[in-house]
Chains A and B, each alone.
Chain A
Amino acid sequence: MSQAVLGAQVTPAGRRLRTSQFLLALNFAAVAIVLLLWWAATRLGWIAPIFLPSPGDVLHAGRITLEQGELLTDVLVSSRRVFLGFALAAAIAVPLGVVMGVWRPAKAIMDPFVSLLRPLPSITWIPLSILWLGIGEMQKVAIVFMGSWIYILLYTLESTRRVDPLLLRAARNLGASDVAVMREVILPGALPGIISGLKVTLAISWSCVLTAEMIAAQNGLGALIWQAKDWGNLPLVLVGMLCISLTVLVADWLALRLEWLLLPWERARRG
């Protein structure tokens, strides 16, 4: 029995490769089956086109808006709003979270505001933000900011507080000053947690921008979907939804690459 296995030369690496190929094939097969069912359901008239357009119609709508350049513009406009609001939130919330993590008075000052603001979904900020900022770019960026900063803050705070106190002792025992402890131990120790928080928050930022664009915007993916709905153009609604998925996937992939570059020791741990 064992000789037969040896004779077949199935190495563990080979088996892993075969398993991963099989799983990849399953990915494609699952998508293909769902597409086929979708096509069949619309083609055979199980579902009326006003409730679900056929894959062909969606493809067609996508090609037209893409050729007109409108689709790409909407993707870029929304991405820019997300990027600005998210970057602003990170630039403020990460340092604030670190300070709150190492200095208790700062946490005591911020705690009541965090408790009050955290339960508010970003959509509740829309009336005030329109009153203060109009319906221009700043308002969209503000909505993204308001919906993102508190999550980044909480992730940063938690990661900073969870840095192993033994490592702080060890650093001090090796002669590290306060500044050196911050730079050499607390920041690198909290970094993996901060980056995870940023990755989770990025998806939240996207949902914020879409909400803001659906309520008041001339362009962007949220506006595209909302206007398409008003015109009864269901294929275009689906095109917009697909674009959001693809854009967020690309953003996630970029974040993963960044993490890979910034955390070489985590790379070693995962082998």
Chain B
Amino acid sequence: MTELSLNVLDVAENSVKAEATLIEISVCSDTAKDLMTIVIKDNGKGMDEEQLARVCDPFFTTRTTRKVGLGVSFFKLAAESTGGEFEITSKKGVGTTVTATFVISSIDRMPLGDMTSTMHSLITLNKDTDFVYSYKVNERGFVLDTRELREILEGVPFDVPDVSDYIKEYLSENKKETDGDIIL
């Protein structure tokens, strides 16, 4: 992976596969503390203790098409190599929360990359899953809640070109305003 946003896309796909109906993703940067925190929280089917214990093992996967499962391992490594931390908690039938912190100034921190593209792909490809995306840099930030969009759209789907373009613009314009002159 070359960007943190690709890790987010990959790990959030696990939530989709866990049949989550609501996935909350937050990217929160505090330049004074030199920390970026990324949280991916879902209400999917969760994992039992045995699965949870092995989830960071690259040679553990529930899939059958190949024998390795690298998504979570990559994300963990990306966080820990910056001097940050990684935590995953899960409860069967309740959901899973992945929390990764990154030391922003670390030479080993990957750029955040194109979060707009990650969120746009997740929202338009998983039309029946709701997302709450929160993006913060210091005191500025914005939230996109697909439940609010759904209410306004009254049945018009997210992947209709006009709506899809709107979502992309909403994400990219608000991110630009939130970032100001800070490059993450």
Judge: A and B partners, yes or no.
no
